[in-house]
A and B are shown apart, each in its own frame.
Chain A
Amino acid sequence: MKIFAIVLYVISIVIGISVSAKVVPAGEMPDNLMLFFVGVIGAIIGLILWHRSNREEVKEMLENAKEEDNPLVHLAKVKEQINHLQVEGDYLAAVDSISEGPIFHFIEESRKLLDIFGQEQGAQIILSFAQVERALNRSWSAFSDGHIEEANRSLQHAKELIGNLEVPTV
């Protein structure tokens, strides 16, 4: 279904753009408008089918709960790792490891939240998460600048923010 939708969409777009390329005198419309509209309608149908199959895919993903594809699983890991983080030892490497691990994977899959919770609630989670990430980055910078107090404060802030990050029930 998804492949059919994408193929229909792409072919229709190619038809539409190719037809539009014909050069006509300024102020005139080309004589192949009918074909252009065929492309437009085909693209709209392809889009509807594509969006529908995406929604079904997300539903299936949540039911099967495949770990690597599920942003909520990565979010839980971020939460757990940040909560255990302390400003000590090789702190920069510890932050890097969270950034390249669960944070990276969460960001990769984060747009699925828009399908799971809807644009508004999904966006709210992603926006709140970005605040956590920035606080963690600030903690990294402060530590590297030798401001241990600020590193601690920013890490604490990151912990508070991720603690307050509410995920609605699916």
Chain B
Amino acid sequence: MQHNSYRELTVASMVLGLIQGIILNLAFVYAALKLGFSIGGSTVAAITGYALLRGVMKKGTSIENNINQTIASGINTVGTGIVFTLPALYMLNAKWAAAGEPIINFSLWPFIFSGLAGAILGVVVIIPLRKQMIDLDRLRFPSGVAVATIIRSGSTGLGKAKLLGLGFLISAIWKLLMVAGWLDIPHVIYGEELHFGFGIIPDYLSPVLYLSLMNLAAGMLAGRGGLSFFAGGALAWWVISPIAVALGWVGANLSGEAQSGFIYGQMLRPLGIGALMGGALMGVVMTFPAIKSALVALANASKLEKVQGVSNDEMPFKVLIWGLVGAVIMFFVATYMVAGVTITQAILASIIGPIWLALAALIVAQATGMTDISPMSGMALITVTIMMFILNHNIAAAMVVGLAVCVAIGQAADMMQDLKTGHLIGGRPKMQQIAQFAVTWIGAIVAIGAVYVLWKAGPGGANGFGEGTSLPAPQASVLMGIIEGLKTGNIPLAKYIMGGTLGMLLAAAPLAGLGVMVGLAMYLPFSITLGYGIGCFIQMWILKSKGVHFVEHKLVPFAAGLIIGEAITGIGHAAFEIIKTSF
């Protein structure tokens, strides 16, 4: 096939994506240190790309805009993996120095290496995963659908554009009302949640609904396919939780939110992490023949290109092999550069690290594919736990691998969303992957540089973020607490093993992704799962009463608008909060 005249991977799309990616990366690193959360940049990039490529340049195409948003979100997402991990090391050092305890001597170079390895591996692992999850499992990837809707909106007629706009407006206004607290009612609506227990439904049944239209819309896009996620939440909070209370497994002195907090933190969350791992592992085993088929298809496409000179849409198979080899070497170099790491430990870390990373990428890609939610903090926790064990409790070395894994799984999830967009608008995966390979590493350098500069901006060239500063870094504080817990050996191993066994049994059921979905539902607060489930039921009801045409032409653009509206308002709110607290 010849594609010469139809603009796709162009200098304009790459430069625009690069500029937007760097800006978004810096902004979200700062926002994540300030507020504790980050936001994907695909929607912003797609809208800007639409305006600049088509509006200003007058020659942009849909698939060219897709390359722009792929690059922008790729560079931006790398920052998320870094900002949730690296600051924890700085903050631990500051805390231990203040307490007169020995500190960790570390250099930034291993982290730069691991950031680059993670960025590359994140793109590499999704080469076969794309075929598995987008082509074979047909996962919905709600944000990917939303971005495709934006890109196509100019060509799909005024009706769809209006619905997209209406969804955007409703969601933006709703988000504003929520963050401003104007609808808050004491004990009923607060913190963007509706507490509908009213003293009648006990807290251990988690009568809480997350009032996010984005969450609802993700469920509306998933429909019947997302029900396993809701079922997992219902099983956790409407079956296991009351059983645990009835059998007296929850301390009698606990009641109300403390009781539900105990059930969540001590029972469901660790079981959920175990189920996520077991589910992903068994998922690979169960679908191995299909994965093999996907790899064979990739290899055959490469051969055909070589022998017959036919241009194909797939990344050459050798990229997968060389990417893996290169990343393993970088893992080894990064780990070995850390003081106190032996050559055997570095070899072990460079073998186990990428294997675990591939599994974690599979978990995160599957989770985002169905729900738009990425369990990154759980994956970081497991990585650091495994690596602390392998690397003889060397915290800096464990964090080097942890950073690589977080960067890679963030990349994998983002790239998968981008590839879903590409599938829907007919972009070539190879072009998107080349673009991401070419520039994604920049995100690692930008984000590590930003964290370093912000830390050094503190009094005396340190303590620029953390407790007591204007940048509290909430996510890194959580990881810091986990590392301190690991030092004392406080790991709920029994829960991980039992959850893992059940996750494997769930994944073996003839329902795609059941193990990972139930694990994710147990890992997340039920308020999110409930809102998502309501969205699923709404879509199923509309599909039954109005048909598939109505769903595709009315519901999908409206739901996409709801997702975009909350994302954009969320970014605006983050910027506003930063400005407000800075002056």
Nearest A-chain residue to B549, judged by Cβ: A100
Given contacts A20-B499, A36-B498, A120-B292, contact A9 B509 (CB under 8 A): yes
A-to-B contact residues, CB < 8 Å? 9, 13-14, 16-24, 26-30, 36, 39-40, 43-44, 47, 50-51, 54, 92, 96, 99-100, 104, 107, 110-111, 114, 118-124, 126-128, 130-131, 133-142, 144-145, 147, 149-150, 153-154, 157
B62–A141 CB distance below 8 A: yes
Given contacts A18-B244, A20-B502, A100-B548, contact A47 B508 (CB under 8 A): yes
In the bound complex, what is the Cα–Cα distance between A142 and B155 (angstroms)?
10
> Which residues of B (21-67) have their CB < 8 Å from a CB of A?
61-63
B491–A123 CB distance below 8 A: no
The interface-forming segment of B2-10, B180-188, B559-567 is: B2-10
In the bound complex, what is the Cα–Cα distance between A120 and B291 (angstroms)?
8
Q: Which residues of A contact B491 (CB under 8 A)?
A: 26-27
A51–B510 CB distance below 8 A: yes
A145–B512 CB distance below 8 A: no
B505–A47 CB distance below 8 A: yes
Q: Which residues of B contact A16 (CB under 8 A)?
A: 498, 501-502, 505
Per a CB cutoff under 8 Å, which of B156, B289, B423 touches A120? Answer: B289
In the bound complex, what is the Cα–Cα distance between A121 and B293 (angstroms)?
8
A-B contact pairs, 25 of them (CB 8 A): A16-B498, A18-B243, A19-B498, A20-B494, A20-B499, A22-B249, A23-B249, A24-B494, A26-B490, A26-B493, A28-B494, A30-B494, A51-B510, A54-B510, A96-B552, A119-B287, A119-B290, A124-B293, A127-B294, A127-B297, A130-B134, A130-B135, A141-B152, A147-B6, A154-B426
Q: Mark B455-478, 1 if CB is under 8 A from A, else 0.
A: 000000000000000000000000
Which 4 pairs of residues, A with B, have the shortest CB-CB distance? A138-B426, A144-B155, A119-B289, A130-B135
B423–A130 CB distance below 8 A: yes
> Which residues of B (253-267) have their CB < 8 Å from a CB of A?
263, 266-267
Nearest A-chain residue to B301, judged by Cβ: A131
Given contacts A119-B290, A147-B61, contact A22 B244 (CB under 8 A): yes
Per a CB cutoff under 8 Å, which of A23, A29, A44, A138 touches B266? Answer: A23
Given contacts A137-B424, A142-B426, A149-B5, contact A20 B271 (CB under 8 A): yes
Count of chain B residues with a beta carbon within 8 Å of a chain A beta carbon? 64
Minimum CB–CB distance from A81 to chain B (whole Å) comes to: 16
Per a CB cutoff under 8 Å, which of B297, B502, B509 touches A47? Answer: B509
Minimum CB–CB distance from A74 to chain B (whole Å) comes to: 13
Nearest B-chain residue to A118, judged by Cβ: B289
B493–A147 CB distance below 8 A: no
Per a CB cutoff under 8 Å, which of B2, B239, B313, B424 touches A131? Answer: B313
B426–A21 CB distance below 8 A: no
Q: Dominant SS at the A interface? A: helix
Nearest A-chain residue to B289, judged by Cβ: A119
In the bound complex, what is the Cα–Cα distance between A26 and B270 (angstroms)?
12
B249–A17 CB distance below 8 A: no
In the bound complex, what is the Cα–Cα distance between A140 and B495 (angstroms)?
50
Q: Is B506 an interface residue (CB 8 A)?
A: yes
B-to-A contact residues, CB < 8 Å? 1-3, 5-6, 61-63, 131, 134-136, 138, 152, 154-156, 235, 239-240, 243-244, 247, 249, 263, 266-268, 271, 287-290, 292-294, 297, 313, 423-427, 489-495, 498-499, 501-502, 505-506, 508-510, 512, 548-549, 552-553
Minimum CB–CB distance from B369 to chain A (whole Å) comes to: 15
Given contacts A20-B499, A21-B271, A149-B5, contact A138 B293 (CB under 8 A): no
Per a CB cutoff under 8 Å, which of B1, B62, B501 touches A157? Answer: B1
Q: Which residues of B contact A36 (CB under 8 A)?
A: 498
B494–A127 CB distance below 8 A: no
Q: Which residues of B contact A28 (CB under 8 A)?
A: 494
Minimum CB–CB distance from B253 to chain A (whole Å) comes to: 14
Per a CB cutoff under 8 Å, which of A18, A126, A142, A144 touches B152? Answer: A144
Minimum CB–CB distance from B250 to chain A (whole Å) comes to: 8
Q: Which residues of A contact B553 (CB under 8 A)?
A: 96
Q: Which residues of A contact B499 (CB under 8 A)?
A: 20
Per a CB cutoff under 8 Å, which of B3, B289, B294, B548 touches A150? Answer: B3
In the bound complex, what is the Cα–Cα distance between A152 and B155 (angstroms)?
18
Q: Which residues of A contact B494 (CB under 8 A)?
A: 20, 24, 28-30
Minimum CB–CB distance from A62 to chain B (whole Å) comes to: 17
Most B CB atoms within 10 A — which of A111, A136, A137?
Answer: A137
Per a CB cutoff under 8 Å, which of A18, A119, A157 touches B293? Answer: A119
Minimum CB–CB distance from A161 to chain B (whole Å) comes to: 10
Q: Which residues of B contact A128 (CB under 8 A)?
A: 297
B293–A26 CB distance below 8 A: no
B425–A137 CB distance below 8 A: yes
Q: Which residues of A contact B247 (CB under 8 A)?
A: 22
